[in-house]
Amino acid sequence: MSHSLRTKAFYFCALFILMMGISTMVTAKTTTTHSLPGSYCPDTNILLIIAEDLSSSLDFVMQSRAAQTRGDQIEMRAMLDASGITLKQATSRGAGARTALLINSVILSRAKENNTQLLTWFPLLHSALLTLPYDAARSAADDAIGRAEEILQGDQNADPLDQLGKARHFLVCDDLDIPVQAAIKEQIKLLSQIRQHKPVATKDFDKLIDSLRTALAYVLDNSKT
């Protein structure tokens, strides 16, 4: 082989090794990022749909607060109810969020069902996971659900709900989920006050509005083109 060919072969080999190294680093970085609990965030298309839900929910809340200032209890409650419906709808957008809601439903069912009944939910949980792209987050959630299943079958002395909670956390986006859950909590609290015929002041809407604004700000900031 001539000196020129040996030189070219050396450069091609070096380039190949460099590209493989970069690919490995990128893959490792992506895997690490996606495997962190609370970092499973929707892509732009889903975020824009969520933005519509949150905007509608915020509008209903503002109408409810306006009705409160007029002393219209019926409209205040109706608008607050509508806000809660659209807010809940926002939590179901995307396969990750839908699967997280399903896991949460299984967690809530524990209060009424025994271990045998709870185990009947797991084929559905595994099927839901198959709708997600195969990545580190899905793998981590699958592992946690598998451990919960083993615990329910009596293989381990631990709480299966802890594992289900971990699985759910791998499939949500904390920056979005935390303010949305805070908004839901405040919406439920306000409705409870109304149902119990307790006085509702304008300032009682502040935490709900602030949480919705925080969630909406995140969605809009992360869906810019």
* Whether pLDDT at 162 is above 70: yes
Residues 6+ apart with CB under 8 A from 55: 216
Where along the chain do its domains lie?
Answer: 1-34, 37-225
Average pLDDT across the chain, whole number: 87
Helix (H, G, I), strand (E, B) or coil at 133: coil
What value does the mean pLDDT take over residues 132-150?
A: 95
Predicted pLDDT at 11? 53
State if pTM tops 0.85.
no
What's residue 26's pLDDT?
36
Residue 28 pLDDT class (50, 70, 90 cuts) = very low
Average the pLDDT over each of 38-42, 109-113, 176-180, 210-214 and give the range with the smallest value.
109-113
Residue type, 129: L
Mean pLDDT, range 23-42, rounded to an integer: 60
Q: Residue range 176-187: average pLDDT? A: 98
pLDDT band at 2 (very low <50, low <70, confident <90, very high): low
User: Is residue 82 over pLDDT 50?
Assistant: yes
Residue 154 pLDDT level (bands cut at 50, 70, 90): confident
**What pLDDT score was predicted for residue 157?**
77
Please spell the DSSP secondary structure of 78-121, one letter per residue: HHHHHHHHHHHHHTT-SHHHHHHHHHHHHHHHTTT--HHHHHTT
Position 33 pLDDT exceeds 60:
no
Checking if the pLDDT of 191 tops 60, the result is yes
38-71 pLDDT per residue, tens: 999 999 999 999 999 999 999 999 999 999 999 9
Share of the chain above pLDDT 70, in %: 83
Reported as a single tens digit per residue, the pLDDT across 104-140 is 999 998 777 788 888 999 999 999 999 999 999 999 9
Supply the pLDDT for residue 15.
46
C-alpha pair distances (Å), 188 with each of 64, 84, 98, 99, 106: 14, 8, 21, 23, 21
Q: What are phi and psi of 120, to 5 degrees?
A: -70, -15
Average pLDDT of the residues in 148-161: 86
Per-residue model confidence (pLDDT) at position 32 = 39
- Which helix (H) or strand (E) element contains residue 36? none
